[in-house]
Amino acid sequence: MNIEQITQPFIRKFPGDFSGNPMQRNTPKVLFATISPAGFEHPKLITFNQHLSEEIGLGKFEEKDLDFLVGNNLPENIQPYATAYAGHQFGNWAGQLGDGRAILAGQIENKGKKTEIQWKGAGATPYSRHADGRAVLRSSVREYLMSEAMHHLGIPTTRALSLALTGEEVIRDIMYNGNPQLEKGAVVIRTAESFLRFGHFELLSSQKEYKTLQELVDFTIENYFPEIISTGIQRYKDFFQSVCTRTADLAVEWFRVGFVHGVMNTDNMSILGLTIDYGPYSMMDEYDLNFTPNTTDLPGRRYAFGKQGQISQWNLWQLANALYPLIKDEKFLEDTLNNFGTYFWNTHDKMLCKKFGFDTLNKDDEDFFTNWQALMQELQLDYTLFFSRLENLTEDTDLKEYFQDISYTVLGEEYIKKLNDFIRRYHLRLSLNTISREESLEIMKKTNPKFVLRNYLLYECIEEISNGNNSMLKKLTTALENPYKEIYPEFSVKRPDRYNDIAGCSMLSCSS
């Protein structure tokens, strides 16, 4: 691998703590602290993303590169560092946070494209908040596979380069219920154009470090928002508007595939509109606007599936407050944020049109979608499988037989009547299309995945890897790389009943 090409423009540009001290503490007036990974004597590679490595310019993996993948014996050109940021967690100001389990190696550029490279689980940093900075195999497998799954679904996301065992055991209380257990430690390398978050800007603004805040925004625009060519205050207005648009577009994409992030704190929001920090996430099984996969989010369900647009807007309000010292135009910020909902829901409804195979958004479609949502929730229909069935529906289809095996309840006579009424209405709506049924189906097939990475599949995969078996990992990797095809029909089924109450199959905690 070409790790000698890794550079570190961020730590050359901004104020930092170069002491290398891993003690957890506040680091005021700086954006990062240099730190060394813990080092692991007996690492073992589980999987390596060769295609991604070549795409970003690192090249082919060789056995000697295993050291780099876990942060061992680093060359002189790499000065690892962790960044400081702040944030609102579950609606409350949390103050200084930072990369508690993540350590940055730096940036590599290939064919004009910049990519940051980051270890997750390689040891403690000043921002670990009394934790050890390690990660367990369970969370590392989930991050590796789901970030790659989202990429192949066509959704903006961080990506995963490698997954390796550290040879250590880490103690974790998976459900925060007083039952800690030893688990296998692991390190995942994740990549992104940038890992900058809302929280980086919140930190500087909260500390009244306005000069550094302006430098950070300018740095971000110059490197990641080339479309912004304005100057002065307008430059910062255009930046905020672009972040709002990217954030809305991302949340709509989550709705398209049924992804629930689970912990949309402002420190988990990418300034580039990427899906970032794969913790207690879930792909939705039965359709439920109130579903949250995060036990820490109960009972309020702040980060439930149906609230992700609303929370995106709330988080953008916090970013607006942070950027106000640069923009200094309260009305602009208020108007931009008040328009967010209009843009979001219009984009959302156009997305739903594609899922149903409609060529345009009609004036009565909002009512159609509302009725559909109520039907899905009442009949507990599987979100992904419902649209697969809709594509193959014919006039002669026995609805009870056809939809029962994708429902998480018994479809009695009353439910079948409601389903029949909806299908009739759907066909009437399809008749308003100005495109052929074949063209309509093509739109649906490009929009609706046949495979999504469900939590119970991840649970099974983690169990197998823990026992030294990587066969399911390979199958899932093939499936997630081809989500709009049904390569493995056994994966395109609803969650089996036996997994309903198993931790990690539907509900998770924020624990690593």
* pLDDT computed for residue 173 by the predictor: 78
Query: Do residues 158 and 192 touch, judged by C-beta distance below 8 A?
Result: yes
Residue range 14-31: mean pLDDT, rounded:
97
Question: What confidence category does residue 211 fall into, taking pLDDT thresholds of 50, 70 and 90?
Answer: very high
Place of tokens 């009943």: 497
Amino acid in the structure at residue 48: F
Mean pLDDT of 161-168: 97
What is the secondary structure of 253-306 as a DSSP string?
HHHHHTEE-S---GGG-BTT--B---SS-EE-SB--TT---BGGGTTT-TT-GG
Query: What is the percent of the chain with per-residue pLDDT over 90, rounded to a whole number?
Result: 94
Instruction: Tell me the residue type at 111.
Output: K
Instruction: For residue 508, count CB atoms less than 10 angstroms from its CB and return exposed for 0-12, middle for 13-18, buried for 19 or more.
Output: buried
pLDDT at 448: 98
CA distances for 136 relative to 329, 362, 460, 473, angstroms: 46, 49, 16, 17
Residues 367, 389: Cα–Cα separation, whole Å: 22
The 10 Å Cβ neighbour count of residue 395 is 6
Res 190 pLDDT > 90: yes
Q: Are 122 and 37 in contact (CB under 8 A)?
A: yes
Residue 211 backbone phi and psi in degrees, to 5: -65, -45
Residue 511 has pLDDT above 60, yes or no: no
Structure-model confidence comparison of residues 199 and 507, the more confident one? 199
pLDDT of residue 512: 45
Based on the residue annotation, tell me whether 267 is a catalytic residue of this protein: yes
Distance in angstroms (rounded) separating the CA atoms of residues 224 and 227: 9
Quote the CA–CA distance of 303 and 326 in Å, as a whole number: 30
User: Average pLDDT of 254-277?
Assistant: 98
Q: 295 near 339, Cβ under 8 Å?
A: no
397-453: pLDDT as tens digits: 999 999 999 999 999 999 999 999 999 999 999 999 999 999 999 999 999 999 999
Q: Alpha-carbon distance 347 to 510, whole Å? A: 30
Q: How confident is the model at residue 222 (pLDDT cuts 50, 70, 90)?
A: very high
pLDDT tens digit sequence for 120-137: 999 999 999 888 999 999
Assess whether pLDDT exceeds 80 at residue 507: no
**Spatial CB neighbours of 424, under 8 Å, sequence gap ≥ 6:** none
Give the tokens for residue 218.
């300018």
Distance, in Å, from the CA atom of 395 to the CA atom of 360, rounded to the nearest integer, reads: 24
Q: Hey, is 59 helix, strand or coil?
A: coil
**Catalytic choice (99, 267, 277, 285):** 267
CA-CA distance, 188 to 421, in Å (whole number)?
49
**Confidence (pLDDT) at 176:** 67
pLDDT category of residue 510 using cuts at 50, 70 and 90: low
Distance separating alpha carbons of residues 261 and 278, to the nearest angstrom: 7
Whether 71 shows a pLDDT value over 90: the answer reads yes
| Calpha distance 274→268 (Å, rounded) | 10
**What is the chain's mean pLDDT, rounded?**
96
Two structure tokens written together for 384: 């992904």
